[in-house]
Structure 1
C-alpha cells in the first residue's frame, strides 16, 4: 500500500466543535470533554470515553501513527492527496457527528462511520464508487474518485452551522420511555443500546428530555387504580434514584427556568411526564402530589379507555373512540390546570381532544403525535385538530414512529418526520409545533434513530429553508412557552 502522496493531519474535536491539531505521539484530550462511559465510576466517566480522533495517516510511520490514533480510541482515515487539505476541518466536523450515530454501541463505531455516511447519500458501501473502503481494523481509506465528495463537504458545512445554532438555542424532546427498561438495567447514564442517555443527548446536542413515567392499560376499578398508582409512584422514585447516580451530568427540572440553569451548568435537564392518567389512582388529590414532585405533563390515557377518558385506539373492542372525557376526567383536567400540569391529549379519542379544548383553561399539547393528512392512523390528528390546538396556544410534538408515519419500516426516514413538521407548520403555524420522538418506546428510524441523531432534525429544517428563529421554536422554544403559560396560570389561582 503506497501512502507516499497522502496527507497527515490529526484533528481532535472538543464539545464546542473546535478542532485542535496535535501530534500523533502526544494525543491529549481537553479537560472540557466529559463524554460518559458504561460505568458508574465517575473518574472513568470523565476520562475513558473522549471524543473520537480523526486521524489522516501517511509516511513511513503510518503504522505507528495509526496505532497511536487507535490507542487513543480514535478512527484513522487515509485521505488521498487529491483531497483539498482545507476541507479536512469540515470532514472532521461531520464525521464527529456520525461516528456514533444511529443509536449503536461504541464498539460499532467503525462500521457505522462507513455505513451511515454511505447510506445517507445512497453510495455503495463496497466498490469503486464507495465513499471509503476498510483497509484494516479501524483503518479506512477515502477513495480518490468518490463521486459524492462534494456533497460530503456540503453536509459537513451544514452540520457545522447546525452545531453553532444548537449552542445558541434550547432544545427539547418531549417523550422518552427510558424507565420502561429500568428492570432490564437501563439507565440515563449508560450508553448501551438505549436510544436515550446523557451521552447520546450530548452527541445530538439535545439539552432537555422528558423522561416518562409510563403505566399500562386497563385500570378502572378501585383496586386496579390503586395498583396503577403504586406502580407509578415506584417508577417516579426510580427516575429520581437514576438521576441522583449521575447528578454531576444531569438534573431534574420542574420549570423552564430551572432547565436553562441546568444547561448553563453544563448538564442535561430532565423533565418528568406521566403517560396514562391511571397513575393518579382513584384520588384526584394525587394531581398536586405528582405536580409537587416534578411531573410537568400527564397523558390522559394510553391504548385503552380509562376512568379519565376514552382512547383513540381501535385495536381493542371494548374501546369507544366516539366518547371523550368522563365527569371524573373533567375534574382531573381542572386540577391539572390548578396545579400547573400540562394536559396531554396524545393517545386520546378525538372527542376527548375536543372536550379538553373546551374544559382546559390553559394550552394543551400532543406530546408525541403526527399528522393524519400525511398518514391515516388513529394516533395522528386531523387538520381541524391542529388548528384548534394552535388557537388554544398549544403544540403538536411530532414523533418519529415508522408505523404511524409510513408503510415500510425500512423506507420511513427522517424526511417523513420533517413532512409532518412541515404540514403542521402550514396548518397551525410555526409557534405550535415541536419534537416528541418517542425514543425507547417505539420511535426511531433512518436518520433519527436515537438522541444522538437529534441534530439531524435541525439540519433537515435548515435544508428546507427554515430560519434559525423558527428552528429554535420547533426544537424547544414552543414547548417551553406552553409550560411557562400553564405554570403561570396555576400561580394566579
Structure 2
C-alpha cells in the first residue's frame, strides 16, 4: 500500500503522491556543512539523505541549525548558524528539480505535489543568536533568521542561555529571562514557531504564559513512560494540546527507555577500551553509531534495546493524554546515537507507520498535517 515511498515524491505516475510526512527535527545539517556531504545522493552511515527519505516516504524535514556552544562560543555562534543555514539552502540550489526550501504550509504542499522534498529549518537553541552587546541586535538577528527561512527556534538547547534555562542546564528550576520573554513575543510577531524541547520545566510554563501562538516540542517524548528531563510531563502534553500546539516524539532509545539507558551506560563503562577503539576507527560521529551499537548488542545480548513497540507507546500516550491532533514525528535523526530496533534510518519509516496503524492512531495528522497546522497558525495564513 502507501507508505512504501516508491511512489512518493517522484512527481510522475498516476494519481497524487502519498500522504505528506514531515519530520520536525533532523540533525543532518552538521555533516552537510562539515564534510560537504550532499544529501542528494545516498550517504555512508547516518540516518538520512534524500534517496532514503524517498524510500521511506518522508516528504520533508526541519533541518536543525544547531551550534555547538563550546566550539562556537559567544559571537562565533551566529556565524556558525548562518553557515549551517547556507548548507541547507545549498541543497535546493544543487538539486532544484528534487528539493525546495519551504517556509509555509502551502509551500510544503506545493513541493509535495511537484515531487520535491521540502527543506525547512529550525534553530536549536537561542545561543545561536550569538552574544551581542546591544540587546537590539538579538531582534535584528531574529528578523534575519526569518528572512533566511527559519521557522522555529528552540529557546534553549542543553545549555542555559541569555533567553532562559535548559532542562539539563545549571539551574533547571529557573525559567525565561526578561529578554527571553521579549524574544518569544517577537517570534510570535514574525511567525517563527516557539520550540519548547530542551527547555527547563519552568521555562516551558513561562513560554506558555507569554506565547500567543501554538508551540512545538520539536523532539521530545513522554516523561510518564521514560522519566528523563528531556521528555514532556502529562501536564505539559495536555497544555500544548489545549493551546493548539504539538509534541513531536523523539526516537532516541535512551529517551524512550531510561532503564535501557542505564544498562547501556554500564555496559560501555565495563568495556571502555572496546568502545574507544570503535570511536578511534572513524572520523565522524555518524560513521561510529552503527559499529558502536553492533558492539553493544554483541557484548550485551540481554541489553533489551528498545524496539518500534517501545516508540509506538510514546506516540499512543501523547495522543491519549493530549490528542491525536497534537502529536508529530520528531525523530532526531543524525542527532542521536541509536534508534529503536526496526527503525535503522529514515527509509524504515513505513515500519513506524505500521506500528502506529496497529495502535489505531491516525497517520495523516501525526505524519504531517498537525505540524502544517502549527506552522500555518503562526501567521494567520
- Provide the C-alpha distance between the structure 1 equivalents of 2:254 and 2:46, rounded to a whole number of angstroms: 20
Deviation at 1:32, TM superposition (A): 5.4
Alignment correspondent of 1:368: 219
Which range is displaced more, 349-358 or 402-411?
402-411
Matches within 5 A, 1:93-172: 167-172=17-22
- Provide the C-alpha distance between the structure 1 equivalents of 2:179 and 2:331, rounded to a whole number of angstroms: 30
Deviation at 1:435, TM superposition (A): 0.7
Matches within 5 A, 1:14-413: 15-16=6-7, 167-182=17-32, 183-192=34-43, 193-217=45-69, 224-281=73-130, 282=132, 283=137, 284-313=139-168, 319-406=170-257, 407-408=259-260, 411-413=305-307
Alignment correspondent of 2:348: 453
Answer whether contact 1:300 1:344 (CA < 8 A) is retained. Answer: yes
CA-atom RMSD in angstroms = 2.3
Structure 1's 333 and 185: CA in aligned 2 closer, same or farther, altered over 3 A?
Answer: same
Alignment correspondent of 1:153: none
Residue 435 of structure 1, aligned match among 314, 329, 333: 329
Answer whether contact 2:27 2:63 (CA < 8 A) is retained. Answer: yes
- Provide the C-alpha distance between the structure 1 equivalents of 2:237 and 2:6, rounded to a whole number of angstroms: 37
SS at match of 2:328: strand
TM-score, normalised to structure 2, is: 0.80
Bigger share in strand: 1
- Provide the C-alpha distance between the structure 2 equivalents of 1:322 and 1:14, rounded to a whole number of angstroms: 44
Residue 482 of structure 1, aligned match among 369, 374, 378: 374
Answer whether contact 2:5 2:55 (CA < 8 A) is retained. Answer: no
SS at match of 2:317: helix
SS at match of 2:7: coil
Deviation at 1:367, TM superposition (A): 0.2
Deviations 1:335-354 (A, max 9, x none): 10010000001000000000
Structure with greater Cα Rg: 1
- Provide the C-alpha distance between the structure 1 equivalents of 2:251 and 2:18, rounded to a whole number of angstroms: 25
- Provide the C-alpha distance between the structure 2 equivalents of 1:267 and 1:367, rounded to a whole number of angstroms: 23
SS at match of 2:197: coil
Structure 1's 31 and 401: CA in aligned 2 closer, same or farther, altered over 3 A?
Answer: closer
- Provide the C-alpha distance between the structure 1 equivalents of 2:17 and 2:319, rounded to a whole number of angstroms: 24
- Provide the C-alpha distance between the structure 1 equivalents of 2:160 and 2:110, rounded to a whole number of angstroms: 39
Relative contact order (C-alpha < 8 Å, sep 6+): which is higher?
A: 2
SS at match of 1:487: coil
Answer whether contact 1:396 1:432 (CA < 8 A) is retained. Answer: yes
Aligned residues: 324
Deviation at 1:168, TM superposition (A): 4.1
Deviations 1:44-69 (A, max 9, x none): xxxxxxxxxxxxxxxxxxxxxxxxxx
Alignment correspondent of 1:50: none
TM-score, normalised to structure 1, is: 0.63
SS at match of 1:381: coil
- Provide the C-alpha distance between the structure 1 equivalents of 2:323 and 2:5, rounded to a whole number of angstroms: 37
Alignment correspondent of 2:292: none
SS at match of 2:305: coil
- Provide the C-alpha distance between the structure 2 equivalents of 1:31 and 1:390, rounded to a whole number of angstroms: 34
Answer whether contact 2:5 2:57 (CA < 8 A) is retained. Answer: no
Which range is displaced more, 288-297 or 455-464?
455-464
Deviation at 1:14, TM superposition (A): 9.8
- Provide the C-alpha distance between the structure 2 equivalents of 1:389 and 1:428, rounded to a whole number of angstroms: 8
Answer whether contact 1:218 1:306 (CA < 8 A) is retained. Answer: no
Deviation at 1:259, TM superposition (A): 0.9
Unaligned runs of 5+ in 2: 265-303
Unaligned runs of 5+ in 1: 1-12, 18-29, 34-163
Deviation at 1:217, TM superposition (A): 2.8
Deviations 1:80-110 (A, max 9, x none): xxxxxxxxxxxxxxxxxxxxxxxxxxxxxxx
Answer whether contact 1:176 1:440 (CA < 8 A) is retained. Answer: yes
Alignment correspondent of 2:360: 465
Deviations 1:345-393 (A, max 9, x none): 1000000000000001101110000100001111111101111111111
